[in-house]
Amino acid sequence: MTSPTSTEPRAAVASLAALASRYDGRRPDRWSPVPEPLDAAIAHDVELAAAGRVARSLLVAELARRFEFPARYLDAILLVPRERFVLPEDLAASADDTPLPLDRAGHATVSAPHAYLLTFSLLGLAPGDRLLELGTGTGYGAALARRIVGPAGHVTSIEIDPALHARAARLLGARPDPRGDDAALACSSAGPSLDGASVALMCGDGRSLAERVLSIGRTLPSERPWKVAVTYALTDPPAALEEQLADGGVLVAPVGAWEGHQELMRVERRQGALLREVHGAVRYVAERGRG
């Protein structure tokens, strides 16, 4: 990896900003849905992709200094092109370790890269695992997770906003799944690929759909227990989700009634008992619906 003190990554940050300006003014309203041709143009911009990767090498070096994340997690940050998952107007900031907004009201963001890795670390996310994510957004967290769990693993992610769900499905290469039922407004899936694990995307209320997924999982003892990541702040501990955890299952979620009073909570079911830990103050967007 390039040294963080060298000129190359620092020049790449400036290069990323310059290349991002290609997409300025493409939309009259930054909060309107991103059209598919614009997403496609960004995805096929070879110069932008190269600048983004070199800029992310600086981010990886920063995360390696600040945290003790596994190499596999840092590799995911480097390999997943975050610029594809933000709004086009925020391309220049896509390699920054900061959350970026996805809607006018502030209900949804692409979280800071370190926030995803912190959650995955507390889950102990590893190759072959099954991850259940509440709060897909545009799919950046799911893209990181599928790299980490690899082709033998699986990621299911739930999003309440139909527009965000549709964009995430497009960005992750997921296609409508005919097995979807009335429990979800939509269901899409993508099989294992060079990008890692298979992914299933559901649209609807997070807690309700997660309870169903976990309930079904408990009837399949041959499968690995679900590891559950919540990417928005719950107003209270998710008791119903905790009760659905199979033995060995883990849940990590921000809990707190408002932004200034949130804590990252970890719950694990071990030999039938629920073990709870608190891992410091955090700041996430609030839940919508029941979750």
| Amino acid code (one letter) for 281 | A
Task: Report the distance separating Cα 210 and Cα 238, nearest Å.
Answer: 11
Beta bridge partners of 154: 130, 198
Which among 57, 111, 188, 198 is annotated as catalytic?
111
Report which of 142, 163, 158, 269 is spatially closest to residue 211, judged by C-alpha positions: 158
CA 228 to chain centre: 12
Could you give the angle at the alpha carbon of 282 between the alpha carbons of 125 and 144, nearest 5°?
30
CB neighbours of 227 closer than 8 A, spacing ≥ 6?
123, 124, 125, 129, 130, 131, 132, 249, 250, 251
111 is catalytic: yes
- Record the tokens describing residue 72, joined without a space: 């596999």
C-beta separation of 147 from 75 below 8 A: yes
Task: Report the distance separating Cα 74 and Cα 159, nearest Å.
Answer: 25
- Entry field: residues in the chain: 291
Beta strands in 220-261 (DSSP E): 226-230, 250-255
Three state DSSP letters for 119-171:
HHHHHCCCCCCEEEEECCCCCHHHHHHHHHHCCCCEEEEEECCHHHHHHHHHH
Catalytic positions, please? 111
